[in-house]
Structure 1
Amino acid sequence: MIISHLAPGAPVVLRVIAEAVLALHVSGATVGLASGTVALVAPKGRRLHQVAGTTFFLAMLTMSGVAAVTAPLLPDQVSAMMGVFVFYLTATAWSAVQRPASQIGRFETGAALVAAAVVVGDLAIGVIGGQMPKGVIDGEPSQIGYVFGAIAALALLSDIRMIRQGGLAGPKRIARHLWRMCAALAIAWGSFAGQPRAQPEALRGSPWLLTPALVVVAAMIFWLVRVQWRAQRKSPKPRSAIPAAPLHGVLS
């Protein structure tokens, strides 16, 4: 928590700012978790899905942006890198459906550079943390750096492939939006499971707190398969060749 890291004699103004930042982070996380869940289960393309998705986008940018800026000051490198990664996932997921199909711009190139930085940062956490006592860095297991580094590497490869293709259209565009939004939501739920102070006392430390994150991952897989299946159904089937007329019938 930001407040607990301030010295007892810290100026009142600094404590007020810290309280405001904390409230912004918590409210962003709360609204993001609720709206993201609604967007996940709402009928796609309908008004409810659009409103919930926009709310999730703004809330997650707020929550992750605050974490990315404040976590290094605590210090908490793991939360800092996670904040940058969630910000990146949310922003690129949103741009996937906002930018016209089969088009890219400077934003996509800049986002790919952010993904590359996240990969390097997460791998550094894994390597440096592995040399710490018990493999823990800032109170977090260093192995988490390798896990999120691998996910960020997949996102980076996806960016590079999209840039080389000059943009995405159709089901590929929808899939990019879908998996990145779901990944951001799953990370947010996983982060909630690792924050005892934010949990109800009856559930504190319970493995059931990971259930929402796992449900989001399962829903993501379901929707990705559904998008691919519907794309295959709508794809035009190749016409069978018309058999040529027998030569004797033509010449007779």
Structure 2
Amino acid sequence: MIILVTLTTIAHIASGAIAVLMGAITLAVRKGARSHINTGRVFTECMGLSSLLGAVLGLIKFETFYITFHAGVLGMTLVLSGWILARMQNGHLGTRFVAIGFVNFLNTAGLVAAGFCALSLPEQTLRGFAAADYFFLAGMAGIALANDLVILLRKTLSDRHRIAQHLWRMCLGFFIAAGSAFTGPGASIFPKVVRDSGILSLPELTIILLMLFWLFRIVFGKGRRPLLKRS
């Protein structure tokens, strides 16, 4: 079991590191270009793998890393639904999007339940994490769930709306990966002076600001033309 946990942890960290690197490149290159599509595909694969392994570790070591299970499921649902939206053709999402949305619904409910369970305990923590941590993840999952419902209930989905949905889901998944690497468990590899300086929070802030910039450009940009080609 120890060997399995060690190998899973190494694979989780390695795939997560590649996801962070590919995510940064994807945000930097021209949107819709072949380089954007290729690096985005690698980001999706590595982020999905890292999230899956994180969820597995959260179950194996549930006494200390239970929240990692929910974070992993959230990361997977975000990038997979974002990938489907990028590739969607003829306005047809298919059963995969519905299935991912249902998984996100279950994960959201689990996070809310965990948050209230933590509040009911004397120290207001569950498996080492405060109720606020569970509610924070539940908020992100809830936003995705609400958007899933909007997409499924709409009769048509414009390219502009589709791309905006793709963008924020991928960026939020990237935000989770960067948070894990720089302000979460991954922060332990940095010297204490660096951790205390607050500089490790800059990647997360940068991702959110870039996401807002591109969302504004997609929704209100000149000509409102799609910035991402279907692949």
Q: Unmatched 5+ residue regions in structure 2?
A: 226-231
Asked whether the equivalents of residues 82 and 170 of structure 2 are also in contact (C-alpha less than 8 Å), the reply is yes
Give the letter for the 2:219 counterpart: Q
Q: Does 1:157 align with 2:138?
A: no
Deviations 1:130-149 (A, max 9, x none): 12343222222221211221
TM superposition shift of 1:231? 6.4
Calculate the aligned-residue CA RMSD, in Å.
1.9
Corresponding position of 1:94: 83
- Distance in 2, matches of 1:163 and 1:233, equals 23
- Distance in 1, matches of 2:224 and 2:170, equals 25
| Identity across the alignment (%) | 24
Q: Does 1:186 align with 2:175?
A: yes
Change (3 A) 1:41 1:127: same
TM superposition shift of 1:129? 1.2
Corresponding position of 2:194: 203
TM superposition shift of 1:181? 0.2
Q: Unmatched 5+ residue regions in structure 1?
A: 1-13, 235-252
Asked whether the equivalents of residues 85 and 118 of structure 1 are also in contact (C-alpha less than 8 Å), the reply is yes
Q: TM-score, normalised by structure 1?
A: 0.82
TM superposition shift of 1:73? 1.8
Corresponding position of 2:7: 20
Change (3 A) 1:177 1:65: same
Corresponding position of 2:41: 54
Change (3 A) 1:66 1:205: farther
Deviations 1:107-143 (A, max 9, x none): 1211221121121111012101112343222222221
Asked whether the equivalents of residues 77 and 101 of structure 2 are also in contact (C-alpha less than 8 Å), the reply is no
Q: How does 1:112-131 map to 2 (within 5 A)?
A: 112-131=101-120
Give the letter for the 1:17 counterpart: L
Instruction: Mark the structure with the bigger radius of gyration.
Output: 1
Q: TM-score, normalised by structure 2?
A: 0.89
- Distance in 2, matches of 1:158 and 1:49, equals 24
- Distance in 2, matches of 1:119 and 1:112, equals 10
Q: Which structure exhibits the higher relative contact order, with contacts defined as CA atoms closer than 8 Å and separated by 6 or more residues?
A: 2
- Distance in 1, matches of 2:169 and 2:224, equals 24
Asked whether the equivalents of residues 119 and 152 of structure 1 are also in contact (C-alpha less than 8 Å), the reply is yes
* Equivalent of 1:220 in 211, 214, 222: 211
